[in-house]
Structure 1
Amino acid sequence: VPEVLLSGNHAEIAKWREEQAIKRTRENRPDLLGNA
């Protein structure tokens, strides 16, 4: 489990989730992101 999820810091967790979502989208559907 990533350390950030164990920290209880909700702002950091939200940021981490956002980064993971973008990473997943970039891997699976790069056409959706364009040049982002």
Structure 2
Amino acid sequence: VDSLIEMPKNISIRAKDLQKHLLLFAKAMAAL
């Protein structure tokens, strides 16, 4: 039961990290 609760948290945290990386990547590309 705990793993079912923890998984969505981990996924949402990873999604936020991915968003940050994509944003930084987009800014880097725009700078070029």
Q: Shared topology, TM-score over 0.5?
A: yes
- Structure 1 residue runs of 4 or more that deviate by more than 2 Å after TM superposition: none
**Identity percentage of aligned residues:** 13
- The AA in structure 2 aligned to 1:26 is K
TM-score by length of 1: 0.55
| Structure 2 alignment gaps of length 5 or more | 1-6
1:29: how far off? 1.3
Greater C-alpha radius of gyration: 2
| Structure 1 alignment gaps of length 5 or more | 1-7, 31-36
TM-score by length of 2: 0.60
Alignment of 1:20 with 2:21, yes or no, is: yes
